[in-house]
A and B are shown apart, each in its own frame.
Chain A
Amino acid sequence: MNLESFWVVSWVNSIGFLSGLPEWCYAAISLLCIFFFVLIPSLVFIVFFDRKLSADLQARVGPNRAGPAGVLQPIADLLKLLQKDTRSPWGWIESLWISIHSMVLYSSLAVIPLGSLALLLDTEMSAFLPFWSALVLALGTILLGLSQGTVAGWFGGIRVAAQALSGAFPALISLLCTGVRAGGFRWTVLAGSQGFAPWSWTVASNPFQAIAFLVFVMSGLVLLGIAPLEGGQSMSDIHGGVATHLSGRRLVLFRFGRFYGFFCWSVISVVLFLGAWNLPLQFRELLVRAELYPLIGFFELVCLLMKTFCLMMVIVWIARVNPRSRVDQITDFTWKVLSPFSLSALVGAGIWAGWRAFL
């Protein structure tokens, strides 16, 4: 961990009595900063725009009472849910679910590629780490479903398991495609192989990468169970499935976990395929010349988040308009459509990269 160059260090050290803390303290402080200054605002922002976009598509007005144009609605919802009482005391499986949930949330925060400002950890295998998080998150959701002791919960849990298994394979293969182009799985390597302009993005470099991008996004939706490909949370037959018995604070936690998965996957998709956090070259040089290094990080983060929000809004748009799929159709889709397409994309991308190397 190269903490020396990390902004938190100088920031904390500037507060006199805190200087000289052990390394893990810096790490913890920076994780908390990412959590409270990036993740929570993104959640509020996305929830608000999700509701507004849905309302606009459906010829409605959407939230308009809490604050100007209803911008405070997510916060109002959150406060309402937090003050609700829980239905029953914690069971041990639910406690297990909570611990897995928190484990995933806080551990994978360190590897989310949120621009050079917030990139705490970068290893040779960085791009694979979020898979671990997604799969463990799925495990937590399965446990949550099974812990309810109802038929709906069982079905929900088993559906989540089936989806997570089927979604992981094409996602991994399509991740390999982008690694083939960039020549590594470090976030910085993946980002460095792209530029700010859309034609320098991985997705536009060749048709196979475009296929890989689509496969990656869709298999992520399957893996994490996000609308319109959520079988485990189907509202019509198992009335919410794994989340049937949740209310109040537990529902907040569950929804936050789902949002976190969705957000992470979109960030990773953007980093892998949509130009990462790259700023325009001249602009960056201007900032470097002015020695405004924290500002570079800030603008990179803004650039990345803007792209992420756009991607998420497109997914929300598709989810609101199209019917939900059945769980066997979802797994069919991943095994029979996404997997062959991702494999052919990998072969194509490999040949393309090899051909470019010979030139």
Chain B
Amino acid sequence: MRSKESLLSALLSYIRDVCMGAWSITESCLTAFPYVFRWGDLRKEVTEGYPDPVSSKTADDLPPRSRGLLFNDIDRCTGCKECQTICPSACIHIEEEPGADISKIWVSIFDIDFSQCIFCGLCVEVCQPASLVHTRQYEGAAYHLTDLVASFGRGQVTEEQRAKWAALRQAIESSEVSST
């Protein structure tokens, strides 16, 4: 049997529990209520329309170090393959051959497979001539997996050109030899 006091205290704690519940529900509701009317700077809606040229962010709003899709300036690229070596996901594929000049290397294929790229930025970091850069473009969706491969190479060399360049190189070499 419960004593009279404990019954009273049980009743009181029961009523307090109910009141506390009612109050906390009300408090939660009131905390969220100002959001309906967007009161204050901290209660603005955060949704940004996309694609929406007026309200949404564009590529220009990205921070300076933002790592977007990669771009290789093939005119500056020396074909050193540093990026291919460091790439953790092996998404850079480079093929090259000697060009018309001894100092020039013809980068025939420079493919970056964005379906494998993890955008870690290591390749950009190691690029000595700074030809490989992150662009500000981030919209890379494509319908086919093959569309995600970006090609920056100069293209395959035909047999005639290869022979011609070999001859040119030989000419330069021989002229160098003769000059020395």
Tell me, yes or no, whether A and B come into direct contact in the complex with CB atoms closer than 8 A.
yes
Q: Which residues on A are within 8 Å of B, measured CB to CB?
A: 53, 56-61, 64, 317-318, 320-322, 337
B28 A56 Cβ-Cβ under 8 A: no
- Provide the B141-180 mask, 1 if CB < 8 A to any CB of A, else 0: 0000000000000000000000000000000000000000
- Provide the B92-104 mask, 1 if CB < 8 A to any CB of A, else 0: 0000000000000
A60 B47 Cβ-Cβ under 8 A: yes
Given contacts A53-B36, A321-B32, A337-B18, contact A59 B25 (CB under 8 A): no
Q: Tell me whether chain A's interface is mostly helix, strand or loop, or mixed.
A: helix
Q: Which residues on B are within 8 Å of A, measured CB to CB?
A: 18, 25, 28-29, 31-33, 35-36, 43-47, 49
Q: What's the nearest-Cβ distance from chain B to residue A86, in Å? A: 30
B25 A60 Cβ-Cβ under 8 A: no
CA distance A321 to B26 in the complex (A): 10
Q: Tally inter-chain residue pairs, CB-CB below 8 A.
A: 37
Q: What's the nearest-Cβ distance from chain B to residue A356, in Å? A: 27
Residues in A neighbouring B31, C-beta threshold 8 A = 321
- Report 15 cross-chain contacts, Cβ distance below 8 Å, ordered by A residue: A57-B32, A57-B33, A57-B36, A58-B35, A59-B35, A59-B43, A59-B47, A60-B45, A60-B46, A317-B29, A317-B32, A321-B28, A321-B31, A322-B28, A337-B18
List the B residue with the shortest CB-CB distance to A228: B25
List the B residue with the shortest CB-CB distance to A57: B32
Residues in B neighbouring A58, C-beta threshold 8 A = 32, 35
CA distance A59 to B43 in the complex (A): 7
A318 B32 Cβ-Cβ under 8 A: no
Residues in B neighbouring A322, C-beta threshold 8 A = 25, 28-29
B47 A318 Cβ-Cβ under 8 A: no
Which residue of B18, B44, B49 contacts A59 across the interface (Cβ within 8 Å)?
B44
Q: What's the nearest-Cβ distance from chain B to residue A226, in Å? A: 15
Residues in A neighbouring B43, C-beta threshold 8 A = 59
- Among B44, B46, B47, B49, the most chain A Cβ lie within 10 Å of the Cβ of B47
Residues in A neighbouring B18, C-beta threshold 8 A = 337
CA distance A352 to B27 in the complex (A): 32
CA distance A273 to B18 in the complex (A): 22
Residues in A neighbouring B33, C-beta threshold 8 A = 57, 317
A61 B45 Cβ-Cβ under 8 A: yes
Residues in A neighbouring B28, C-beta threshold 8 A = 321-322
A59 B45 Cβ-Cβ under 8 A: yes
List the A residue with the shortest CB-CB distance to B24: A322
